[in-house]
Structures are given as C-alpha cells and as structure tokens.
C-alpha cells in the first residue's frame, strides 16, 4: 500500500515540477512586481521582526511557486530599520522613489510605523499594517489595513481588568514607556480606569531607553496596588521582570502584566524562564487556540526558523505576517490589478480567509472582529523553549470563547504554583 | 508627596549608584584632570571595555575576573593612544585645542560605529550568580549587582589614591600636571610619566566597563549619556582630585536617584548635565580643585 | 563683484534643477546635503574662525525644528515664518550658552555644549505639546508655489538658505569681526591685550552660528512630516558639522562648502547603497585622518600642491 502511495506522490511531484518549469519561463517575460518594507531585524524588536520576516518570506516563496501575482514574480525588498522610528521615513522614501515598489508593507510594531503614516497618506499609497496599535488614529489614512488581532485599547485592557476585578482588586498601578505604542495602550487603560470605580494609586511614564527599573518598582511597591498594568517593549519587559524578581511588588498584588511586548518572543521567554510565572499578558496565539491550517504552517516555519537561528516556535507574529501576504494575494487576484486604490477598496469591503481565520476591517483599517487573548504563564522552567510547544504553559483566562482555565491569584501564589 | 521611607531608600540606592559613577569616572579624572588631555573618548573606551568583557565572559569566566584580565590589554591601548596623541598634537602644539578635541571626538564615534557594525544595536548583558538577586535588610532590598559595583568602586578609588600619594611614580603623575619643569629637574621624564598615567587611566576603564555591564545591559550608543556623567563627576570634583571624584560621584548618584523617585525617570538624563553646567557656571574649578 | 554673480548663477541653477523632470529622490537626498552646507558653514564661524569647538550642534538644530513645530501647530505659520522663528530662538540659545561658558577654556566650552543638548532633549521629551518622547505626526500643507512636490520646494528653500549662510560667512570673514575672531584663535591673551573686545565678538559669533544652525533645522519637521527628540538631538550631527569644515579647511568660507558637498554626498550614496552606520564611520575616519595628517583640510592640501608645482 505504502509503495503505491509513494509512487503516486513521486509522479505527482514530478508532474508538479514539470508544471512549474513553464511557469518560471513565464516569469522571464514580464517585470517582477515589487513588494517592499523595512523590518526591525536588530534592536529591541529584532527578535520579533526576524521571526515575522520568515513568515513573509514563506508566503513570497509559496506565491511564486504558484506562478506569482498575475503572472509576475514577486520581488521582496526588505531593509533593517533597527527598531528605530527615525530610520523609517528615509527607508520608505527610498522604497518609493529609488526601488519603485508597487505595494508597501509596514514595519513590525507601532513605533517604527508611526513616522511614516503622514508620508504614506500624502503619497496615496496602500500600507499593510504589521502588528501596530492605533497608529492610524490621528492620521486617518484610508488605505491602511492592520493585520493585528486587536482593535482599540478598550478590548485590550478589558479582559485584564476584569480578571483583576474578579479577584476582588480595587487599586491599580500603571506604568508605561513614553513612546507611541505604550502610550496609546496605557491611555486606553487610563480611560477605562477613570470611568469606572478603580483607584489609580500610581501612574508613571519612563523614557523608552530606560534600563534600570529599581526606582519604579520600588515606588510601585510602596503604593501597594492590587493590579499592575504595564505597557512596554521587549528590552524594557526583560529589565522589568528582572527588577520585579530583585525587588518584589508586595503580597497584595493580584494581577501583573497586560501590555508587555516581548513576552511573546520565544528567545525572550526562554531567557526569562521561571521569572515569567504568574504574569498575565496578551497574546495573538497560544497552543490550544484553533485556527485552520495553522499547525501545518508552524511545521514548515519551525524548519526554516531553526535553520536561520531565529525564534523556533513563531507563535506571535509569523502566522499573521503570512496572512498579510495572503490578503495581498487575494486582493490582487480579485481585482486583477496592482492599483493601490482598487486594492484598498477591495480590502475594505471583503472578508479574507487566511491561516489565522477570516479577517475583515472596519473604517479605520483595524480588525472589525478582534481576537486577542490574555493568558497567564504557569509552570515555566528555565532554559527550555520546547516546553512552550504544548498547552498549559500559557493558560488563556480571557475571553470566554478561548478560555482554558481560571486565573490564579494573588501574583505571588501564581509565581510558585504548579 | 513621597514618604520618608521611600526617600531614604532612594538615598541608599543613590549611594550605591554614586560610587559606581565615581569608579567609571576615575580614568577621566586622571587623563583629563591630571594630564589635561581633552579625553572625550573616555566613555567610548568604557563601553568598549564592557563589550570586551561580554565577549570574554562567554567563555564562562566571571565578569569581574574578565575585567581584571582586560586591564593589561587596556593599559597597552592607553599608552599607545597617548603616545600617538603626544606625537601628533602636543609636540607640534599648533592649534592643539581644536584638533585634539576633534581627534578624540572622532575616535569616540569610530569606536561606537565599529561596535554597532560588529555587535549590532542590540543590548548585551552578562550573567553571574550575583546578578538578579538582592540582599534583604528589613523592608529594603539592595540588588547584589549594585553592591558588587559598589565594592569594586571603593577598591579602585582606595587603590588609586594610595598609588598617587605613596609611590614615586604616582606622586610624579600628580606633579607633572602642576609643574613639568620641576619634575624634569627631579630626574623623571614627563612624557614617560604622562604615558604611564594615561595607561593607568585606560586600564581602569577596562574594569569599569566590566562593572557597567554587570550593573545593566549595554548598547553601543551608551557612551553619549556617559559623557555627561563622567565629565560631571570630574568637573564637580575639581581637576586633579582623586578623593574628590568619590564625593562628586556620590552627589551625582544621590541627586539622580532622588530625581528618578520624585520627578520620574524621564528627567534623569538631565541631572548629570544640569549639575555639570551649574558647576561650570558658578565654580569651574570644582569642589576640591586647585 | 564676482562672488555675487556666482551666487546668483548658483541660485538659478538650483531653481532650474527643482523644476526639471528628474527622480524625486535627488531632492530628498539633496535637501540633506544642502542642510549640511549650512551647518558646516555655521559651525565654522565659531569653530574655524575663533577656535571654539561646538559639540552641541543638535541643540541648535532642534531649537529651530521645534520652534517651527510650535509655530506650525499653534498658528499654522507658513514655512518662512517657521524658519525665521527657528533662527531667532536658536540665536538666542547661542547667546545664552555663550554668556554662560565662553569665559571658560576651550574644552569646558565644548563639554558645556554637549550638556545643552541633553538638557534640552530632556525638556522636549517631557513636553507633551510637541509630542514628547513619542513624537508628533505632521500633515504638510499643500502650498507648493511653483513646484511639483513639497520636497522639491524644500530643496529649493534649503538651497537659498545655503547660499545665504555662505554669503554671511564670507562677509564675516573679511570684516572686522573676522579679524577679531582670528586674533582670538591665534592667541586670546594677546588679542585681549591689544584691545580686541574678545568676549563681545565671541558672543556675536556664537549667536550668528547658532541662528544659522536653527535656520537649517527649522524645515526638518516639514521635510519628514514627523518629529521626535532622539533623532533631532542626535550627536551624529555634531561629528558631521565639525568634520566637514575640518576636512574642507577651516580658514576660508569655501572650506566648509567643499567639505559638506563632498562628505554629505558620500554619506547619501552610502546610505542608499550600503547602510546607515557606515555614514558616521566615513566622517569619523576621514576626520581623524585629516586632523592628524592634513590639519588645514583640503584647502591646505590644494595650497601645498599649488606651491610644490610652482
């Protein structure tokens, strides 16, 4: 039986190869279509950016294997912005005027993306957003589509604050970096806190490049909050967790975390190890959540990632970056054009099926049906990335549709729980 | 307002921080304070020391030992740098001010960019048993990494102060800043003495660099904020005063710690530069300077 | 006068270029190159003529840029007003810094200028109105005058500013002010003794230098449609602004122009083809080489070559 199966696969494979040969000859006839972006491959966001890039390259290879877009090979142009928003305007001007790309994808994350929004709007270009948060709120560009599974701050903090309320908490401390993403998120949380009966006992902003959090953690501890909401980027997340471990927050803290970027990257999770236990934080995907076709994606991704010495699990960004590619592909195939306006129109009106489920957008270019979760880290051991493959290490506590378990409080108990 | 308790803890942390700042400024105190070399590349060499420590510690050696092992290497670098500076600028003594400054500024940038090209802009850290945990005394927690830095700082300052007051070479170094001619009459070669001093200053930088990466993560662009901290300490102390460096460091450390506690961390960078400007405006010779 | 004819021809040349149908990127990169001509010329007025090394170039640029932002955000001021406002405030900063520190020795002045950068940066980072540390997105008004795009217009504006600054530097060089500054550079004590009002002329030079740097910085928010403190206060401006005159030659007004055109063009080519860091490395290495081997810059080398070929 197996021999026959193998024979069929072999001939099938040969047939596929034969089928691709004429297509690659077809490439030579027309100019490639250029898709361009800058991706933070070094700097604070580098760990996430490199993983995301693999997701995108997988899509480029897949679509070229199928014959490209409208018969033209996709040429993917990427630069490194070093997680620095100061570099992106120059890079995107270069992409438009020197490389002459046809379709733009935004850099991963809010802070490198914010500076290019006015530029892209002025030039009337489509921009495929990449896991940024509320970056289009002020500029209101009508050709912006964000692949991240969230919409506004309300959705984000709601679940987190709800868990705190259920544990009987009344007081909250907030601290966030003074940068676009962290402030957008923290302001959203502050908004909710103001309009409900939470008692805000501590609220501080710190400079984005701050490396020593001892004085902040000490001040938070002295304010005796029951919930601590943090909005930070990867480097800060690591320093904060180390500081919390060094100095402690006090036994009254029920829930800690919320908006910490970086705790989703496997290298960071691995280096922090048991320091993560008890933290309740957001995520876009954890094992146990059901998405069609995602298991297959992870298998292929892990192979490439291990070879490239990048985040081997790729839970957080890669599937959604692959989905961005799929959105471009479907829009182009449906409208039969690369005209940015027509593509934007299509994306606005239609729901696209991707490996992270169906995606549709509201009038601001954000997801009309958010699907992010708050999950609690449990039973994490040091120096082991494989442990994260299985469910149970990041237990989803919100929303109800994806819930995997109840949150363990207080924070100190959750840190030691097994 | 903040409680007295919190203020006290801030002061204690400030003392630890301050000694650390004093230690990283010792090299500059010698090179600029005693020898009058416009050594703006000092913080860049500090960061270089941190990165070398990072590399060496990958072999498993404790970071402090790495720093000690690097000291002879940096000593040689220091001698070479001074020799070059002397031959090119001080000897010919035409327009030394601008050119010397521009030279060291250029060196600082070259070091920073080379670090970025080799290591990237990512933050680097080292690990050791004492990094990550703290000493608990009652309600207060003192991170061990700060205590280690504090210990090394005290050690270095004492060592250097003794060296400069007890040994012949040390006293000669102090003298060369004040009166070269007299020193020559005493039989010492001023150029060799200055070379020695510069070598010591750079060697100290190696250990200080190790301390820097123990205390927190390091990235190539950090040399810029440390220009403020080191020059603030040296100017505050007054040129030529070793023990003054420790006091000045303490003042800076406590000031920064209190500002971080009260106004917030976003105002911390301005503390060192603000103190520096203030000192230059009211009393340029520093607290203990001649 | 020969110079004014050359200046006029240059002006017409830039105008013509901005109206030609060439790749947009030329204007994007050209703006930066011309900006460095202004910065190098401005730096040289204090650094080259008088010998006081200003490391705090970004502080003046930022004052110009943020003044422009405030004027734009509050009263929708047109570009000309933004530039003038930026220049005035930066000039005032120059005057203040001068008053505080020009009595001190060379290196203390230089360190003080670095201090000004970080202090102002911290202030701006805590100032929500201009975006704080997060930064501010700006929408450019679409008054393009006779040009096709806003970038072309900014390019021409910067060309005008460049020619203007160079003219000012040339005027200073040949005037009483220039002679006084040279006397200060050669020997401040001797100048004092011969009755030169050294403090006064140093203050004037510092003010003019600062004002010109502010003028160079004022169009930047419009150029990027975005402003944030870390990039605006970046010390990389210092090494370029002092490297270019030293490489070009500090004794004559044409030195900074040569240095800026040469170096900034190399930087732009490197940025487009290789990477951003290499930029700074190029300036750093060339600076050290010239300071050690050819202290009089390219001008000095040309002079030597002319003499040896006689």
Residue B102: list chain C partners with CB under 8 A. Answer: 53, 242-243, 246, 287, 291
- CB of A166 within 8 Å of a chain C CB? The answer is no
Whether A3 has a pLDDT exceeding 60, the answer reads: no
- CB of A114 within 8 Å of a chain C CB? The answer is yes
The span from the CA of B9 to the CA of B65, in Å, is 30
DSSP-derived secondary structure letter, B93: -
Strands B140-143 and B134-137 come out as antiparallel
The whole-angstrom distance between C258's CA and the closest CA on chain B is 19
Does A178 contact C234 at a Cβ distance shorter than 8 Å?
no
- Residue located via tokens 């298991």: A295
- CB of B133 within 8 Å of a chain A CB? The answer is yes
Q: Residues B191-220, buried b or exposed e (16+ Cβ, 10 A)?
A: bebbbbbbbbbbbbbbbbbbbbbbbbbbbb
Helices C254-273 and C25-50, interaxial angle, to 10°?
140
- CB of C281 within 8 Å of a chain B CB? The answer is yes
- Which pLDDT belongs to residue A19? 46
Q: Which of C55, C246, C288 has the CB atom closest to B110's CB atom?
A: C288
The span from the CA of C49 to the CA of A316, in Å, is 57
The answer to whether the beta carbons of residues A250 and A221 sit under 8 Å apart is yes
The whole-angstrom distance between A116's CA and the closest CA on chain C is 8
Q: List the structure tokens of A266.
A: 């496997």
Whether A208 has a pLDDT exceeding 60, the answer reads: yes
Phi and psi dihedrals of A377, rounded to 5?
A: -75, 130
The span from the CA of A356 to the CA of B73, in Å, is 55
Residue B217: list chain A partners with CB under 8 A. Answer: 211, 235, 239
- Residue located via tokens 């490389």: A99
The number of angstroms, rounded, from the C-alpha of B276 to the middle of its chain's C-alpha atoms is 15
| Helices within B167-189 (DSSP H only) | 168-178, 180-185
Q: Can you spell out the DSSP letters for B185-242?
A: HTT--HHHHHHHHHHHHHHHHHHHHHHHHHHS-B-GGGHHHHHHHHHHHHHHH-TT-H
The answer to whether the beta carbons of residues B254 and B14 sit under 8 Å apart is yes
- C233 membership: H or E segment, kind and range: none
The answer to whether the beta carbons of residues A273 and A19 sit under 8 Å apart is no
The answer to whether the beta carbons of residues A367 and A150 sit under 8 Å apart is yes
The whole-angstrom distance between A232's CA and the closest CA on chain B is 15
Model confidence at A330, pLDDT cuts 50, 70, 90, reads: very high
Of chain B, the end-to-end C-alpha distance in Å amounts to 40
- Which pLDDT belongs to residue B96? 57
**More confident of the two residues A214 and A323:** A323
Residue A211: list chain B partners with CB under 8 A. Answer: 123, 216-217
Residues forming beta bridges with residue A230, ordered by sequence position: A175, A258
Does B103 contact C292 at a Cβ distance shorter than 8 Å?
yes
- CB of B122 within 8 Å of a chain C CB? The answer is no
The span from the CA of C304 to the CA of C285, in Å, is 22
**More confident of the two residues B132 and A175:** A175
- Which pLDDT belongs to residue B269? 84
Q: What is the arithmetic mean of pLDDT over C261-280?
A: 85
Model confidence at A8, pLDDT cuts 50, 70, 90, reads: very low
- Which pLDDT belongs to residue C208? 96
- CB of C127 within 8 Å of a chain B CB? The answer is no
CATH architecture type of domain A154-289+371-416: 3-Layer(aba) Sandwich (3.40)
The whole-angstrom distance between A180's CA and the closest CA on chain C is 5
Helices B268-282 and C106-125, interaxial angle, to 10°?
140
- CB of B117 within 8 Å of a chain C CB? The answer is yes
Question: pLDDT exceeding 90 applies to what percent of chain A?
Answer: 64
- Which pLDDT belongs to residue A18? 44
| Helices within A28-76 (DSSP H only) | 46-65
Model confidence at B125, pLDDT cuts 50, 70, 90, reads: confident
- Which pLDDT belongs to residue C309? 78
Does A178 contact C272 at a Cβ distance shorter than 8 Å?
no
Please say whether the dihedral angle defined by the alpha carbons of residues C40, C41, C44 and C45, taken in this order, is positive or negative.
negative
Model confidence at B253, pLDDT cuts 50, 70, 90, reads: very high
Q: Lowest-pLDDT range, A17-21, A86-90, A364-368, C206-210?
A: A17-21
Q: Lowest-pLDDT range, A11-15, A73-77, B91-95, B203-207?
A: A11-15
CB within 8 A of B279, min separation 6: which ones?
B232, B235, B236, B286
Domain A2-146+292-355 is in which class?
alpha beta
The whole-angstrom distance between A128's CA and the closest CA on chain B is 26
* A372-402 pLDDT tens trace: 899 999 999 988 889 999 888 999 998 888 8
Q: What is the arithmetic mean of pLDDT over B251-261?
A: 91
Q: What is the arithmetic mean of pLDDT over A61-71?
A: 94
From residue B166, give the alpha-carbon distance in Å to each of B159, B184, B185, B196, C157. Answer: 10, 20, 20, 16, 65
Whether C138 has a pLDDT exceeding 70, the answer reads: yes
Residue A239: list chain B partners with CB under 8 A. Answer: 216-217
The span from the CA of C190 to the CA of A291, in Å, is 82
Whether C243 has a pLDDT exceeding 90, the answer reads: yes
Whether A228 has a pLDDT exceeding 80, the answer reads: yes
- CB of C99 within 8 Å of a chain B CB? The answer is no
Q: Residue B45's closest CA among B96, B121, B114?
A: B114
Q: Which of B32, B99, B110 has the CB atom closest to C295's CB atom?
A: B99
Does B103 contact C238 at a Cβ distance shorter than 8 Å?
no
- Which pLDDT belongs to residue A24? 47
The whole-angstrom distance between A244's CA and the closest CA on chain C is 25
Q: List the structure tokens of C4.
A: 């004014």
Whether B210 has a pLDDT exceeding 70, the answer reads: yes
49-108 in A: which are within 8 Å (CB) of B?
Answer: 82-84
Residue B190 neighbours by CB distance under 10 Å: 16
- Domain ranges across chain A: 2-146+292-355, 154-289+371-416
Q: List the structure tokens of B54.
A: 């990072």
Helices A294-308 and A318-335, interaxial angle, to 10°?
120
**Best B31, B81, B113, B265 residue to mutate vs chain C (most C CBs within 10 Å):** B113
Nearest CA in chain A to C127: A178
- CB of A180 within 8 Å of a chain C CB? The answer is yes
166-225 in B: which are within 8 Å (CB) of C?
Answer: 224-225
- Domain ranges across chain B: 4-282
Does C285 contact B106 at a Cβ distance shorter than 8 Å?
yes
Does C226 contact A97 at a Cβ distance shorter than 8 Å?
no
The whole-angstrom distance between A101's CA and the closest CA on chain C is 14
* B220-229 pLDDT tens trace: 988 998 988 9
The whole-angstrom distance between C245's CA and the closest CA on chain A is 25
Q: Which of C24, C137, C276 has the CB atom closest to A139's CB atom?
A: C137
* A11-32 pLDDT tens trace: 444 444 444 444 444 455 589 9
The whole-angstrom distance between B113's CA and the closest CA on chain A is 14
* A76-124 pLDDT tens trace: 999 999 898 888 999 999 999 999 999 999 999 999 999 999 999 999 9
Residue B159 neighbours by CB distance under 10 Å: 12
* A239-279 pLDDT tens trace: 999 999 888 898 999 999 999 999 999 989 998 999 999 99
The answer to whether the beta carbons of residues A101 and A123 sit under 8 Å apart is no
- CB of B107 within 8 Å of a chain C CB? The answer is yes
> Helix (H, G, I), strand (E, B), or coil: what is residue A258?
strand
Q: What is the arithmetic mean of pLDDT over B244-265?
A: 90
Does A246 contact B133 at a Cβ distance shorter than 8 Å?
yes
Indicate the CATH number of B4-282 among 3.90.1460, 3.30.310, 1.10.3470, 3.40.1620.
1.10.3470
- Which pLDDT belongs to residue A55? 95
Q: Which chains touch C (3 or more CB pairs under 8 A)?
A: A, B
Q: Which of C134, C138, C276 has the CB atom closest to A180's CB atom?
A: C134
Q: List the structure tokens of B268.
A: 């911390």
The span from the CA of C27 to the CA of B231, in Å, is 41
Q: List the structure tokens of A174.
A: 């907030």
β-sheet with A199-206: strand ranges across? A199-206, A171-177, A227-232, A255-260, A280-283, A373-377, A394-398
> Helix (H, G, I), strand (E, B), or coil: what is residue A361?
strand
- Which pLDDT belongs to residue C101? 81
CB within 8 A of B205, min separation 6: which ones?
B24, B27, B42, B45, B46, B49, B74, B78
The whole-angstrom distance between B46's CA and the closest CA on chain C is 18
- Which pLDDT belongs to residue B92? 63
- CB of C26 within 8 Å of a chain B CB? The answer is no
- CB of B276 within 8 Å of a chain C CB? The answer is yes
The span from the CA of C59 to the CA of A216, in Å, is 29
Q: Which chains touch A (3 or more CB pairs under 8 A)?
A: B, C
* B158-182 pLDDT tens trace: 888 888 888 888 888 888 777 777 7
Whether C104 has a pLDDT exceeding 80, the answer reads: no
Model confidence at B94, pLDDT cuts 50, 70, 90, reads: low
* C57-79 pLDDT tens trace: 999 999 999 999 999 999 988 99
Does B281 contact C238 at a Cβ distance shorter than 8 Å?
no
- Which pLDDT belongs to residue B290? 58
Model confidence at A212, pLDDT cuts 50, 70, 90, reads: confident
Helices C198-217 and C57-75, interaxial angle, to 10°?
50
The span from the CA of B156 to the CA of B174, in Å, is 17
Residue B268: list chain A partners with CB under 8 A. Answer: 207
From residue C6, give the alpha-carbon distance in Å to each of A67, C20, C30, C33, C167. Answer: 58, 21, 20, 19, 11
Whether C13 has a pLDDT exceeding 70, the answer reads: yes
The span from the CA of B50 to the CA of B223, in Å, is 11
Nearest CA in chain B to C46: B98
The span from the CA of A175 to the CA of A205, in Å, is 6
Instruction: Count, in order, helices (H) and strands (E) of chain C.
Output: 15, 2
Question: pLDDT exceeding 90 applies to what percent of chain C?
Answer: 54
* Cis amide leading into A410 (omega within 30): yes
Q: Which chains touch B (3 or more CB pairs under 8 A)?
A: A, C
Nearest CA in chain B to C284: B106
- CB of A222 within 8 Å of a chain C CB? The answer is no
- CB of B129 within 8 Å of a chain A CB? The answer is no
ipTM above 0.90, yes or no: no
């Amino acid at each position: 039986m197996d021999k026959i199966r193998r024979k069929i696969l072999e001939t099938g494979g040969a047939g596929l190869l034969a089928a691709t040969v004429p297509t690659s000859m077809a490439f030579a006839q027309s100019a490639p279509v250029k898709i361009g972006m800058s991706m933070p491959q070094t700097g604070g966001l580098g760990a996430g950016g490199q993983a995301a890039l693999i997701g995108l390259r997988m899509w480029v290879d897949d679509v070229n294997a199928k014959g490209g877009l409208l018969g033209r090979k996709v040429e993917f142009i990427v630069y490194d912005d070093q997680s620095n928003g100061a570099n992106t305007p120059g890079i995107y001007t270069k992409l438009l005027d020197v490389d002459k790309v046809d379709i733009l994808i935004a850099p991963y994350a809010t802070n490198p993306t914010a500076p290019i929004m006015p530029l892209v709007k002025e030039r009337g270009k489509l921009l495929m957003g990449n896991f940024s948060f509320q970056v289009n709120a002020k500029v209101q560009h009508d050709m912006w589509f964000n692949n991240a599974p969230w919409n506004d701050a309300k959705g984000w903090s709601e679940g987190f604050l709800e868990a705190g309320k259920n544990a009987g908490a009344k007081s909250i401390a907030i601290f966030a970096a003074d940068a676009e993403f962290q402030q957008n998120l923290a302001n959203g949380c502050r908004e909710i806190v103001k309009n409900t009966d939470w008692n805000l006992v501590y609220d501080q902003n710190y400079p984005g490049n701050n490396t020593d959090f001892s004085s902040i953690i000490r001040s938070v501890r002295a304010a005796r909050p029951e919930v601590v909401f943090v909005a930070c980027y990867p480097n800060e997340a690591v320093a904060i967790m180390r500081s919390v471990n060094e100095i402690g927050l006090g036994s009254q803290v029920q829930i800690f975390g919320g908006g910490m970027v970086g705790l989703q990257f496997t290298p960071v999770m691995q280096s922090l190890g048991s320091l993560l236990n008890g933290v309740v934080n957001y995520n876009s995907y954890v094992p146990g959540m059901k998405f069609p076709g995602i298991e297959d994606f992870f298998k292929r991704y892990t192979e490439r990632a291990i070879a490239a010495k990048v985040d081997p699990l790729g839970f957080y960004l890669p599937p959604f970056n692959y989905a961005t590619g799929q959105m471009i592909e479907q829009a182009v195939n449906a409208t039969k054009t690369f005209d940015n306006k027509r593509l934007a129109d299509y994306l606005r009106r239609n729901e696209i099926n991707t490996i992270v489920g169906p995606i549709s957008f509201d009038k601001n270019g954000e997801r009309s049906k958010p699907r992010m979760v708050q999950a609690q880290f449990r039973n994490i051991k040091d120096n082991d990335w494989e442990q994260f493959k299985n469910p149970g290490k990041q237990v989803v506590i919100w929303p109800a549709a994806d819930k995997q378990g109840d949150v363990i409080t207080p924070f100190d108990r959750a840190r030691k729980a097994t | 307002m903040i409680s007295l308790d919190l203020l006290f803890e801030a002061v204690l942390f400030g003392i630890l921080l301050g000694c650390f700042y004093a230690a990283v400024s010792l090299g500059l105190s010698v090179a600029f304070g005693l020898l009058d070399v416009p050594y703006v590349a000092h913080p860049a060499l500090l960061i270089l020391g941190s990165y070398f420590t990072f590399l060496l510690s990958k072999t498993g050696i404790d970071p402090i030992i790495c720093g000690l092992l690097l000291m002879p290497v940096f000593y040689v670098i220091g001698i070479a740098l001074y020799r070059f500076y002397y031959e090119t600028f001080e000897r010919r003594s035409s327009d030394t001010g601008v050119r010397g400054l521009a030279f060291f500024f250029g060196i600082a940038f070259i070091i920073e960019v080379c670090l970025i090209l080799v290591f990237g802009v990512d933050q680097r850290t080292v690990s050791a048993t004492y990094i990550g945990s703290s000493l608990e005394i009652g309600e207060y927690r003192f991170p061990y990494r700060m205590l280690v830095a504090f210990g090394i700082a005290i050690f270095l300052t004492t060592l250097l102060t003794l060296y400069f007051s007890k040994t012949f070479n040390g006293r000669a170094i102090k003298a060369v800043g004040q009166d070269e001619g007299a020193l020559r009459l005493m039989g010492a070669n001023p150029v060799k003495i200055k070379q020695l001093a510069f070598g010591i200053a750079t060697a100290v930088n190696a250990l200080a660099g190790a301390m820097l990466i123990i205390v927190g993560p390091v990235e190539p662009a950090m040399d810029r904020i440390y220009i403020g901290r080191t020059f603030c300490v040296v100017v505050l102390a007054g040129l030529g005063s070793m023990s003054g460096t420790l006091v000045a460091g303490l003042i800076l450390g406590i000031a920064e710690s209190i500002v971080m506690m009260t106004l917030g961390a976003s105002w911390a960078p301005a503390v060192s530069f603000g103190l520096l400007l203030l000192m230059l405006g009211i009393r340029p010779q520093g607290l203990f300077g001649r | 006068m020969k110079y004014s004819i050359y200046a006029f021809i240059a002006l017409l040349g830039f105008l013509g270029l901005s109206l030609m149908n060439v790749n947009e990127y030329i204007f994007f990169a050209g703006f930066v190159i011309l900006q460095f001509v202004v910065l190098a010329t401005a730096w040289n007025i204090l650094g080259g003529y008088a010998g006081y090394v200003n490391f705090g170039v970004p502080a003046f640029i930022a004052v110009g840029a943020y003044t422009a932002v405030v004027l734009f955000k509050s009263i929708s001021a047109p570009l000309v007003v933004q530039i003038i406002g930026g220049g005035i405030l930066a000039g005032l900063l120059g005057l203040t810094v001068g008053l505080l520190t020009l009595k001190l020795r060379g290196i203390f002045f230089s360190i003080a200028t670095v201090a000004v950068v970080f202090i102002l940066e911290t202030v701006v980072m805590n100032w929500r109105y201009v975006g704080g540390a997060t930064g501010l997105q700006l929408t450019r008004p679409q008054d393009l005058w006779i040009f096709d795009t806003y970038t072309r217009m900014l390019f021409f504006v910067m060309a005008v500013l460049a020619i203007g600054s160079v003219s000012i530097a040339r005027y200073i060089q040949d005037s009483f002010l220039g002679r006084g500054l040279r006397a200060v550079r050669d020997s401040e004590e001797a100048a004092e003794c011969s009755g030169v009002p050294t403090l006064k002329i140093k203050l004037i030079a510092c003010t003019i230098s600062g004002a010109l740097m502010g003028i160079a910085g004022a169009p930047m928010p419009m150029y990027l449609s975005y402003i944030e403190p870390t990039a605006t206060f970046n010390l990389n401006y210092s090494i370029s602004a002092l490297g270019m005159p030293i490489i070009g030659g500090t004794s004559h007004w044409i030195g900074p122009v040569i240095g800026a055109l040469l170096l900034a063009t190399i930087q732009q080519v490197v940025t487009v083809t290789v990477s951003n860091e290499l930029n700074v490395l190029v300036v750093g290495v060339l600076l050290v080489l010239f300071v050690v081997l050819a202290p009089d810059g390219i001008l000095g080398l040309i002079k030597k070559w002319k003499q040896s070929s006689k």
